Amino acid sequence: MNKSLCVGVDVGGTKVAAGLVDSNGEISAQVRVPMVSNSSADEGLNAVLSAIAQVIPRGTDGVRGIGICAPGPLDPDSGVVLNPPNVPCWRNFPLAESVQERHSVPVKVDNDANAAALAETRWGAARGYQNVFYATIGTGIGTGIVFDGKIYHGRTGSAGEGGHVSIDYRGPICGCGKPGCIEILASGTAIAQRARQEVAAGAKSSMLELAGGDPASITGEIVRKASESGDSLAAKILGETTEMLALWLSNIIDLLDPEVIVIGGGAAALYRPFLGKLRERIPQFTVNPRADEVPIISARYGADSGIAGGAALCA
């Protein structure tokens, strides 16, 4: 076996995914097991151990380490999961230590966006860069900051929560308590919700038909499809959220002046036709005279970013 292989584990509220990742970031031997997140801490742990065992049937002898993306908040130094809303069975749970008891290799734990930022830096779209801002746009918006090739954790491990940077102090209140976080304005969830509200209020749009006549069934994917077919409401919504993203990323550039911005996540596809507009708007929104030079590029990893991210923690 090759010592350059790492195990990457991605723990969610309903499933655990794991895989082997080589020194080029290629993923093999992927598995997926169910996670029962509201039972006992040990059952949750067993799901993780089972996924790991399936990707390394002959043990960890030939493996460099195990990296786990776990729901936050967590302490990346100690590998303790604090009180994740998505996995309530783990309260102050020493995840890294518990896995290390079974496998005598280094075990690292971090949150998914941080880990994915590192995977993109090591093996993906940001390869060759040292200072990277990574955003994953899905049901929420997560971000990770890489400085000097390493995840930037801040004082308590809670840095890099860029999805909770507000651009609207008079906006809707986010779960974090802040009004107008970019997550609540421009995530996949936010886009779908906006379309649902406008259509339910009577706005004319092909999205109603695409959703089978029920406004409540409009998804982000439907907004994307409708926009591509020339639906003006869908295009207007995506145009407006693109403008918000541009403002938010210009905040990031003025504060951090990163070498590159990488965008991933399940809802990133909604923005793909608007990347040109995003690149055009950002320099108009910053004091940085060279903001137009910052590449804004699509992530390498998609649904498997958690596996790659986990592995990157140990690579």
List of residues contacting a copy of itself (CB under 8 A): 73, 82, 131, 145, 147, 152-162, 164-170, 176-180, 243-244, 247, 250-252, 254-259, 284-290, 293-294
Residue with tokens 């309260």: 91
Residue 2 or 78: which CB sits closer to a copy of itself? 78
Residue 159 or 203: which CB sits closer to a copy of itself? 159
Give least dist CB 236 to a copy of itself, A.
Answer: 16
Give least dist CB 223 to a copy of itself, A.
Answer: 20
Residue 174 or 299: which CB sits closer to a copy of itself? 174
Instruction: Return the half-sphere exposure (C-beta side, CA atoms, 13 A cut-off) of residue 2.
Output: 10
Asked if the bond preceding 76 is cis, omega within 30° of 0, the reply is no
* Amino acid identity at 183: E
Residue 88 or 302: which CB sits closer to a copy of itself? 88
Give least dist CB 88 to a copy of itself, A.
Answer: 16
Token pair, residue 259, equals: 């070498």
Identify which of 164, 169, 167, 121 has the alpha carbon closest to the alpha carbon of residue 145: 121
Residue 228 or 280: which CB sits closer to a copy of itself? 280
Q: Kindly state the DSSP code that residue 221 receives in the 8-state scheme.
A: H
Give least dist CB 142 to a copy of itself, A.
Answer: 11
CA distances from 75 to 242, 273, 280 (A): 33, 37, 38
Give least dist CB 82 to a copy of itself, A.
Answer: 7
Measure the CA–CA gap between 33 and 214, rounded to whole angstroms.
34
> For helices 220-228 and 232-256, what crossing angle results, to 10°?
110
Residue 30, class by beta-carbon neighbours within 10 Å (0-12 exposed, 13-18 middle, 19+ buried)? middle
Residue 34 or 239: which CB sits closer to a copy of itself? 239
Residue 216 or 287: which CB sits closer to a copy of itself? 287
Give least dist CB 53 to a copy of itself, A.
Answer: 33
Give least dist CB 190 to a copy of itself, A.
Answer: 14
Buried b (16+ CB within 10 A) or exposed e, 253-291: beebebbbbbbbbbbbebbeebeebbbebbbebbebeeb
